[in-house]
Structure 1
Amino acid sequence: MLEDLSLTNMMLAPIKQLNPDQFLPYVKENLEIIFIPGIFETIYKEKWQLYINFFKLQVNPYGDDATPKIDGLSIEAFIIEQLKS
């Protein structure tokens, strides 16, 4: 089976363009956001490191909004929600 690389690129582009400065009001120390190829969990937290499972990104290439989402939220909104909790 061949993989459609355009779908992967649609998922990677927003991650590459993620601006970490927008999360500064929600952290007290340096923050590391790391996308990993996880298996089950959506996130793993360890002090000021936030590991996000790349395979939990959902994208609809056929709809009007091709923005990747995690649990129905944009990547930025998801990260902010995790930092608040």
Structure 2
Amino acid sequence: MITSIKLNLETIEAMLYFWNAVKDRENVSEMFIYDLTSMQGLTLAYDANFTEESVRRALSALKNREIFSRSSREEGRFYNNNLWMMEDLEYTNLMVAPIKKLNLDYLIDELNSKFPNSKYNELEVYFSPLHLDEYLIKDNKLIINFFRVKPSDFDENTFVGDKELRAYIKEKLEELLNN
């Protein structure tokens, strides 16, 4: 039985600091970058093409305003997406605002009624700066690519892909519980 759904924004909070500091030409220590690379929001996405070193190299290149030579398509996309965040911090803040307000407790009863024998007591939802994937599922964790969050131009809705944010999260948590 699911007792809680935790929202983890730790990586996005750290990245917001990074994007703002680099944009303002403040010094960001290499230690901060190493700490970022070890945050669970990123480590859950690591594989053969996207590693801790991929993240470190991309963020160091951004910090030092160097040309980045990617070793994989995933690295290139990660670098470009981070560059995009720094180019328009106002839009970045529009992306962050709705996820900071999220409370997913309303889904607990509905998910328990659909999945009464869930092997997980706790589900975790991460928003992380990823690369090519729109989302990842690892055990009881749903990792949503922050770069795919799109605030509406017309109203207060927020989307991931073409789905409204809350509907998207519900759909992906159901997929997680079906595995």
Query: What is the RMSD of the two structures over their aligned residues, measured on CA atoms?
Result: 2.0
**Hey, which bits of structure 1, 4+ residues long, moved more than 6 A?**
none
**Deviation of the 1:23 alpha carbon:** 2.3
Whether 1:3 aligns to 2:93 is no
Q: Structure 2 regions of 5+ residues with no counterpart? A: 1-82, 113-117
Q: Aligned residue pairs: how many?
A: 83
Once the two structures are TM-superposed, the CA of residue 44 in structure 1 deviates from its matched residue by 0.7
Residue 46 of structure 1, CA deviation: 1.1
What residue in structure 2 maps to residue 80 of structure 1? 170
Equivalents in 2 of 1:79, 1:30: separation in Å?
15
Q: How does 1:1-85 map to 2 (within 5 A)?
A: 3-25=87-109, 26=111, 28=118, 29-60=121-152, 63-85=153-175
Gaps of 5+ in 1: none
Q: 1:47 & 1:22 partners in 2: Cα distance?
A: 21
Which of the two has higher C-alpha Rg? 2
Normalized per residue, which structure has more strand? 1
TM-score norm. by structure 1 comes to 0.82
Structure (1/2) with the larger helix percentage: 2
Q: Supply the distance in 1 between the matched residues of 2:96 and 2:124 (Cα, whole angstroms).
A: 17
- What is the one-letter code of the residue matched to 2:107? F
